[in-house]
Structure 1
Amino acid sequence: MKENEDKYLDDFTKKIIKKASLESPSIHFTSEIMSQVKALNKSKVIAYKPLISKQTWVLIALSFIGLCIYLIFGTETHQSSWLDSLDFSKFTNVLSGFTISKTLMYAIAFFGLMLCIQIPVLKNHFDKQYEV
């Protein structure tokens, strides 16, 4: 039974192949395909643009140098700081044995400030990068 089905399918496919004519592409087929490939290769190139410009780096460097010069040659030598005005009594009552140095507190405050600045800057950068 299986052989009859195979023979019938074989005869049927031979008939179809004999009736079908050989198709050939147009004369300019290759040049048309190559022009389409070349058009695909001319994609939009994204030029490198740094997140922080040179002018901003210069401003940051000058600010840092100015701060260092002020700290070295500054005339004020009093010991009070802006942290003395903050009230940490609630935390010191809970954590009476735990002390935080001023350096660590400055580092945490500076880290928080930089984080708050970097998030909007990076969001803006990536929004511009993925615009269509």
Structure 2
Amino acid sequence: MGENKHIKELDAFAKKYVKEISTEQPSLDFTASLMQKITLEKNLEVFKAKSLISKKGWMLIAASILALIFISFFTTTESAFNLPKIEFDFLDKLQFTNLFDTLSVSNITLYAVLFFGLLFFAQIVFLKKHFDKRVY
């Protein structure tokens, strides 16, 4: 019962002083000064794009794949590593000579694919520039 009276008193006190407080108006150049401060802080690390795998990482991956390929080509049965030898004899058995002989494409289809491919790459370039301007 006493708590309710205390809450009512606090409520009345708060209402009285909130009515007395005048509203503040920001200065006329508030938005311009705020935007100027934001544009001055261009070197934020939040929007900096970083690749997931660094150049050193890609070099290490490529070097290890090349090392595995070369080791598989030049290993003998008396090797210390005992890696399985990869044989590429199956490539001689595959014949791709008659693969595209029966395929015929009309000129209109060829032009349409070429045109839409060019537009696709133009759109990628345009969107990249747009988002780069938006970030920076």
Q: TM-score range by the shorter chain?
A: 0.3 to 0.5
Give the helix-richer structure, 1 or 2: 1
Structure ranking higher on relative contact order (CA contacts 8 Å, 6+ apart): 1
TM-score normalized by structure 2? 0.32
Q: Which has the larger radius of gyration?
A: 1
